[in-house]
């Protein structure tokens, strides 16, 4: 179906002609002396979320019958755009809501309706029960990352814009939630913000090792380390850094940590180190990893600050546990 062309004047029923108004050709009634402005039709859409799922409806009528889209419809004369979005939402899904924010606007030409302007809002459900309305075959939630192909490209664009606007917020929420996973469970490679720093640590381990060696070779809190060769010390630093990287990347379980650091504590006891030296050396490893991470310019955006704070939390969790198990190993030998 093509958009109908105006042929007659709605006021006098006389035949209209085409006449130039400025540089634009428009339909004109020579009797009424009126130009007709066929402006784009305003279409409103609502993005309603449940967790990371978005509410879609399957269209009952043409055009695009049987295809999925956001709850959408035309704004009526005398109705605000916001009110139209909420009205269409309740008519198509049974959901009552309130406008949270404006998401996107898009201008398209549709084969059925002609020129359209889509205005999309984020809407929060306030009441109602999900049920497909008269214009919809179904109404259901889909993962916002795996929606079916949508009837209107403007809906797809709006969802992509919405995801982009929420991506940093969701990353922060996910990362902090995952960073407090129950001890003893295998990490299933969650999407931590600080995962981006793993490669930085691995690629610069020699720089951090050299700084740590210089410190433990002169620090009063680690006198026995003064007599260890730099080659041996670098190997020890890399071993501990490797344990930390494995933990960061999810390739580690609590039992691995317990076994490794209790063995390390036992070994340092046999080598003649004091327990205080063991604790100081681990603390200095943490210090130089942390200082190097901060030196990478991580304070430029809000999400970078969260990334840094999360790294500090994960570092604290790892090295606190590592120190505890190393001390347990050291004490067991002492008995």
Q: Is residue 186 assigned to a domain?
A: no
> Looking at the structure, do residues 124 and 172 belong to the same domain, yes or no?
yes
Question: Which residue range is the domain that position 18 belongs to?
Answer: 1-38
Question: Is residue 188 included in any domain, yes or no?
Answer: no
Domain tally, the chain: 3
Nearest to 145, CA basis, from 167, 127, 125: 167
Residue 183 lies inside a defined structural domain of this protein: no
CATH number of the domain enclosing 226 = 1.10.490.70
**Model confidence pLDDT, tens digit, residues 151-199:** 999 999 999 999 988 887 776 666 655 555 544 343 334 455 556 667 7
> Over the stretch 235-247, which tens digit does the pLDDT of each residue have?
999 999 998 888 8
State whether 50 and 118 are in the same domain. yes
Which CATH number covers residue 96? 3.90.79.10
Checking if the pLDDT of 91 tops 80, the result is: yes
pLDDT at residue 13 is higher than 50: yes
- Considering the domain architecture, whether residues 109 and 90 belong to the same structural domain is answered as yes
Q: What residues are labeled active site?
A: 138
Answering whether pTM is above 0.75, one says no
pLDDT of residue 335: 47
Both 7 and 26 in a single domain? yes
């Amino acid at each position: 179906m093509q958009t109908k062309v105006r042929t007659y004047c709605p006021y006098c029923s006389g035949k209209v002609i085409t006449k130039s108004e400025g540089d634009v050709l428009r339909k004109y009634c020579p009797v009424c002396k009126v130009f007709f402005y066929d402006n784009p039709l305003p279409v409103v859409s609502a993005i309603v979320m449940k967790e990371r799922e978005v509410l879609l409806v399957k269209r009952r009528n043409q055009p695009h019958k049987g295809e999925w889209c956001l709850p959408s419809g035309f704004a009526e004369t005398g109705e605000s755009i916001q009110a139209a979005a909420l009205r269409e939402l309740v008519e198509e899904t049974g959901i009552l809501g309130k406008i949270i924010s404006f998401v996107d606007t898009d201008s398209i030409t549709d084969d059925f309706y002609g020129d359209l302007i889509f205005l999309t809002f984020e809407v929060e459900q306030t009441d109602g029960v999900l049920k497909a309305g008269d214009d919809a075959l179904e109404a259901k939630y889909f993962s916002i990352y795996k929606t079916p192909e949508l009837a209107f490209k403007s809906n797809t664009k709006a969802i992509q814009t919405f995801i982009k606007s929420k991506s940093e917020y969701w990353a922060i929420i996910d990362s902090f939630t995952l960073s407090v996973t129950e001890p003893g469970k295998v990490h299933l490679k969650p999407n931590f913000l600080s995962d981006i720093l793993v490669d930085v640590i691995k690629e610069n381990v020699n720089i951090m090792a050299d700084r740590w060696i210089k410190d433990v070779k002169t620090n009063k809190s680690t006198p026995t380390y003064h007599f260890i060769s730099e080659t041996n010390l670098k190997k020890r630093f890399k071993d501990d850094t490797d344990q930390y990287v494995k933990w960061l990347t999810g390739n580690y379980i609590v039992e691995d940590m317990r076994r490794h650091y209790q063995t390390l504590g036992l070994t340092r006891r046999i080598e003649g180190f004091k327990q205080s030296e063991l604790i100081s050396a681990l603390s200095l490893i943490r210090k130089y990893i942390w200082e190097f991470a901060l030196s990478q310019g991580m304070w430029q955006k809000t999400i970078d600050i969260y990334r840094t704070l999360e790294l500090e939390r994960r570092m604290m969790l790892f090295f606190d546990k590592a120190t505890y198990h190393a001390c347990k190993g050291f004490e067991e030998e002492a008995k």
